[in-house]
Chains A and B, each alone.
Chain A
C-alpha cells in the first residue's frame, strides 16, 4: 500500500505519462514548451498545437506498451476513478423507500486514504467535508466556496512535463470535482460554473506561460464571482426592493443568500420598516440562519414559524408578498428549490399572494423535469431520527466519537452498580435540554425491515404558482426561462 501510494503521488501529475518510457517525446516537447517571448504567428501556433498533439499521442502509445509490463505505474483517468471508488466507505445499510430507489445515494470516502490524499487538493477535501455535513449549504454559497477552492487548486497546480496547462488542468480539476461530488451532488450553479471554468481553461492561449495562465484564470474566477453572484445579487436586490414597501408583510421560506441581501438592503439602505415571516422546516432549519441575519436589524420585525403552522400564518397575518429563493430554474419554468418551497408557494398562491422568485441567471438550467420524485437529492435518513435539531457530523468524526463512546461505556460498565438508575433519571430530565441524539424511539430503526425514512432535499414548484422570476437580467415570467438560456448562452 505504501509503495502504491508513492507511485500514485509520482504519477498524479504525469497523468498519461509514464515516467520512464517517453523520453523521446519528452525532450522534444520540453524544448518547445519553453514560453517564447515574442508573439507567435497563427501558423506557428498551429504548428505548436499539432506538435503537442503528436507528443500526446506518442505518450499514450508508450503508456499502453508500458501498461502491459507494469500496470501499477499507469495513471489513466479511469484508473484514478477506480481507485477513488475503492476508497469508498461501503455502507450497505442505506435504505431507500421503494419509490425512490432510483435516486443516487451519498457515498462518503475516506479522505485519509493515501490514494485520495495524493490526488485531491486539501481545500477540496475540507470543502467536501463541509458540504456533506451541511456546514456549507445553499446553492450560491456552495458555488462560491467551490470556486474559491478551485482557486487554491489552480494556485498550487504545476503542469507536469509533457503536457500543457490547457489539457491537463481540466482533467486535474475533473478529479477534484469527482471527489467533490461524493460529498453532495453538484448544484446546478456549480455545474454551470464548472462548465464555464473548463471553457476558460481551454481558451488560455497556448503560448502563455503557466504562471501567466494561472494568474489569468484566477483573475477570471474572481471576475466571475463578482459578476455572476455579487453584482447580480445587488441588481436583483435593487429590483426586488421595489416590491417591499413600508409596513409590508413578507413571507419567505428557509434561507436564500440573495433574499437575505435583499431584505438587508431594504432595511439598511432604504430604511424601510417591514415584517418578515420566515417559514422553516426540518432537518436543516436554514430559516434560523436567515432569522439570525435579519433579527439584528431594528427595521425588520421577524416572525419564525415551522412549516406546520403555514396555514395559521397565512390566515392570521395579511401577507403582501411571498419571496422565494431558488436552487435552480429549469427550462420548463419550474422552480427547483429546497423541499417545502412548493408547499409554501402553493399555499400563498391559493391565498392570492403574489409569489416572487429571486434567482441569479447562473442558476438557470436547460434541464426539464416534471415531478420531484424522478430526480432529486437524497439526504441521510439518519438526519431525521432525532426529534431535536441535529448537528451533522462527518463519517470520520462519527467513527471517532463512537470509539470514544465505546471506551467510556467500558469504563462505566466496570464501576456502576447503583449509578445506573440515577443516570437514567437524570437523562430523562436532560432530554428536554440536551440533544444527545441517542435517546430516540427509532434508534434502532434499521432493524425494522419495513420502515423507511425519506429525506429528499429538493422539490419542484410548478410555474402556475410563480408570479415572476427576478434575475439580474430583469424580471420575467417563469415561462421565459428558456429565452434567457438561449439569448445569453453565447455571452456567458
Chain B
C-alpha cells in the first residue's frame, strides 16, 4: 500500500519537476506528456471508488497547475480525463436507475406519478454492492481507453485542422502569420500548400521566437511556398496587402480570447483596423474553461537579456526592461477559431468548453 503510494509520489514529482524545469514545453508536447503521465497514474494508483480517483486526479492537477500555471494544456488534459470519469459515473447511475425505472422520456408520462422512491433506492443499493468490485477494474480500463483516445486525438490534431485549409485559403492569397513558433500554423500552411498557391508573410517575433521563425521560414520555402520574413515593425506597412492573418493560439479561453506569442495582439489590432480577417488555429486540448479575468496572471515574462544584451552595459541597470513572452488577444480581434473538430466563432467557444469539461473541475482546488 505505502510502496504504491510512494511510487505514485515519485511519478508525480518527476512530472512536476519536468514541467518546472521546462523540459516539456509547448502545448502539444505538454498535452501529450500529460496524457502519458495520466496513463501511468491510472494504472499504478490504488483507489476504492471512482470518487476517490477523482479526488486523486484533482490533487495532482492542483500540483501541476501550481508548478506551471501558464501551461494550460496540462490542466486541460486533466480536466478532460476527469470529465471522462464523471461521465462514466453518471452513465452508470443513469443505467442503474434505468434498470429499475426508466427516465421520463415521453411527454405523457410526465403526469404519471413516479414509482416509490424508497424501493428504487434499495434496488440501486443492491446493484451497487454486487457490482462494486467488478466496476472498479472496469472503470480503470475505461479511463485508460479514454486516455488512449485522447492521445490519438492530440496526435491527429494537425491533420484534422489541415482539412479545413481548402475552405480558408484561396489561390494567390497573401497570408500573414505573427506566430512563427507555432507548430500548428506551420503544419496548416504546409498542408495548404498541397492544394493552393499562396504567399506567407512571417514575422520575426524578435527576440523570443526569431530562431523558430527562421526555421519555419526555411521549412516553408523548402516546401515551395513563397515566404517573406518581415520584422515585427513592418506589420502595419504590409497589412494593406494581406488577405488573412493566421495565428496560432497557445491557450484559448471560454470567452473566446486567447494567449499566444507576444506581439500578436498588436498585429491583430492592426488587422482589425484594416478589416483583415484573423483566424486562429488551435487543437481542442488548448481550450481552457477559465475566463481571463486578470491579464497579468496569464502573461509570462522572459529573459530581459534578450531585449537588452549585456553588451549594452551602459544601459543595463539604468533602463527598466521587460520581455513578455506571451500576449493576450481579446475575442473581438479574432474572427474564427479553426480546431480539430471544426471552425467556431469566438463567442461560441464557451459552448465547446462546456461540451468537453465539467464545471466542477474548472478549479482544481
Other-chain residue from A281, A312, A458 in contact with B322 (beta carbon distance below 8 A): A312
CA distance A346 to B227 in the complex (A): 26
Q: Contact partner of A304 among B199, B261, B320, CB < 8 A?
A: B320
Known: A98-B226, A347-B266, A440-B214. A384 touches B204 (CB 8 A): yes
Chain B stretch 262-296: residues in CB contact (< 8 A) with chain A: 262-263, 265-266, 269-270, 273, 295-296
Of B59-67, B90-98, B233-241, B350-358, the segment with at least 4 beta carbons within 8 Å of chain A is B233-241
| A99 & B229 in contact (Cβ 8 Å cutoff) | no
Tally of chain A residues near chain B (CB < 8 A): 60
Residue of A98, A339, A445 with most chain B CB atoms under a 10 A cut-off = A339
Known contacts A372-B237, A441-B215, A459-B236; A450/B226 CB under 8 A = yes
Task: Render A307-319 as a binary contact track against B, CB cut-off 8 A, 1 for contact.
Answer: 1111111011000
Q: A308-B262, A371-B240 are in contact. Are A454 and B205 (CB under 8 A)?
A: no
What mask results when residues 410 to 451 of chain A are scored 1 for a CB within 8 Å of chain B, else 0?
000000000000000000000000000000111001001111
CA of A295 to CA of B269, assembled, Å? 31
User: CB distance A312 to B210 under 8 Å?
Assistant: no
Count A/B pairs, Cβ under 8 Å. 183
Bits for B303-330, please: 1 = Cβ < 8 Å to A, else 0: 0000111011011001111111001100
Determine the distance from Cα of A303 to Cα of B322 in the docked complex, in whole angstroms. Answer: 8
Do B319 and A459 touch across chains, with their CB atoms under 8 A apart?
Answer: no
Given known contacts A282-B233, A459-B237, A305 and B322 CB-to-CB distance under 8 angstroms: yes
Chain A residues with CB under 8 Å of B241's CB are 99, 373
- Residue A486 is within 8 A (CB to CB) of chain B in the complex: no
Confirm or deny: A340 has a beta carbon within 8 angstroms of a beta carbon on chain B: yes
> Which of these, A302, A346, A384, A388, contacts B319 with CB under 8 Å?
A302
Contact across chains for B233 and A281 when beta carbons are under 8 A apart: yes
- Name B166-210 residues within 8 Å CB distance of A: 174, 199, 201, 204-208, 210
Q: Give the chain A neighbours of B273 by CB distance below 8 A.
A: 346
* Given A302-B318, A308-B263, A373-B240, A281:B231 Cβ within 8 A: yes
Provide the residues of chain A in CB contact with B229, threshold 8 Å: 384, 451-454
Interface membership of chain A positions 115-129, coded 1 if the CB is closer than 8 angstroms to chain B and 0 otherwise: 000000000000000
Q: Residue-by-residue, is B228-260 near A (CB-CB < 8 Å gives 1, otherwise 0)?
A: 111111111110110000000000000000000
Which residues in chain A, 282-315, are within 8 Å of chain B measured between CB atoms? 282-283, 288, 291-292, 295-296, 301-313, 315
Q: Contact check: which of A350, A373, A376, A452 meets B226 at CB < 8 Å?
A: A452
Complex interface: chain A residues within 8 A of B199 (CB): 98-99
The stretch from B11-19, B30-38, B128-136, B216-224 touching chain A is B216-224
Q: Check B214–A450 contact: CB distance below 8 A.
A: no
Cβ contacts under 8 Å, A282 to chain B: 204, 206, 231-233
> Separation in Å of the B36 CB from the closest CB of chain A?
30
Q: Are A304 and B296 in contact (CB under 8 A)?
A: no
- The 8 Å CB contact of A308, one of B205, B211, B227, B299, is B205
- Docked Cα-Cα span, A282 to B227, in Å, equals 19
Selected contact of B228 from candidates A97, A303, A460, CB within 8 Å: A97
Q: Considering the chains assembled together, what is the distance between the CA atoms of A302 and B316 in angstroms?
A: 11
Q: How far is the CA of A439 from the CA of B217 in the complex (A)?
A: 17
B225 located at the interface, meaning its Cβ lies under 8 Å from any Cβ of chain A in the complex: yes
Q: Closest approach, in angstroms, between the C-beta of B269 and any C-beta of chain A?
A: 6
Contacts of B323 in A (CB 8 A): 306, 309
Complex contact B224–A450 (CB within 8 A): yes
A288–B318 touching, CB < 8 Å: no
Question: Nearest Cβ distance between residue A378 and chain B, in whole angstroms?
Answer: 12
B303 to chain A: closest CB distance in Å?
10
Q: Which residue of A lies closest to B310 (CB)?
A: A433
Residue picked from A372, A384, A450, most chain B C-beta under 10 Å: A450
Query: Which residues from chain B contact A445 at a C-beta distance below 8 Å?
Result: 218
| A442 to B262 Cα, complex, angstroms | 23
Contact across chains for A308 and B206 when beta carbons are under 8 A apart: yes
- Does A387 count as interface, using CB distance less than 8 angstroms? yes
Q: Is the CB of A442 within 8 A of B218?
A: yes
* Contact assessment for B206 and A342 in the assembled complex, using a CB-CB cutoff below 8 Å: no
Q: How far is the CB of B215 from chain A (nearest CB, A)?
A: 6
Does A343 interact with chain B (Cβ within 8 Å)? yes
Q: Is A30 an interface residue (CB 8 A)?
A: no
- Say whether B319 contacts A441, CB under 8 Å: no
| A residues near B237, Cβ cutoff 8 Å | 339, 342, 371-373, 376, 456, 458-460
- Cα A450 to Cα B223 in complex, Å, equals 9
- With A303-B320, A309-B322, A384-B231 known as contacts, the answer to whether A372 contacts B206 (CB < 8 A) is no
Interface string of A252-294 (1 = CB under 8 A from B): 0000000000000000000000000010011100001001100
Residue of B nearest to A301 (CB): B320
Q: How far is the CA of A98 from the CA of B206 in the complex (A)?
A: 24
Complex: chain A residue closest to B216, CB-CB? A441
CA–CA, A332 to B229, complex, Å?
30
- The CA of A150 and the CA of B315, in the complex, are separated in Å by 35
Instruction: Check A283 against B269 for contact (C-beta < 8 Å).
Output: no
A311 touches B266 (CB 8 A): yes
Residues of B within 8 A of A307 (CB): 232-233, 263, 266
Contact A450 B227 (CB under 8 A): yes
CB-based nearest A residue for B225: A450
Which chain A residue lies CB-closest to B201?
Answer: A454
Cβ-based interface call for A389 (8 A): yes
Question: Bound state CA distance, A306 and B208, in angstroms?
Answer: 11
For the complex formed, measure the closest distance between the CB of B154 and the CB atoms of chain A, giving whole angstroms: 28
A451 to B227: give the CA distance in the assembly, Å. Answer: 5
Asked if B295 contacts A343 (CB within 8 A), the reply is no
Which 9 interchain pairs have the tightest Cβ spacing?
A340-B233, A308-B263, A372-B237, A451-B221, A295-B318, A281-B233, A459-B237, A311-B265, A342-B236
| 20 sample A-B contacts, Cβ–Cβ < 8 Å, listed by A number | A97-B228, A281-B206, A281-B231, A281-B232, A282-B232, A291-B315, A292-B314, A303-B319, A307-B233, A308-B206, A308-B263, A310-B263, A313-B322, A340-B234, A372-B236, A441-B215, A442-B214, A451-B221, A452-B229, A459-B234
Q: A295-B315, A308-B205 are in contact. List 17 more A-B contacts (CB 8 A).
A: A281-B233, A288-B312, A302-B318, A308-B207, A312-B324, A340-B236, A343-B270, A371-B240, A372-B238, A441-B218, A450-B221, A450-B224, A452-B226, A454-B228, A454-B234, A459-B233, A459-B234
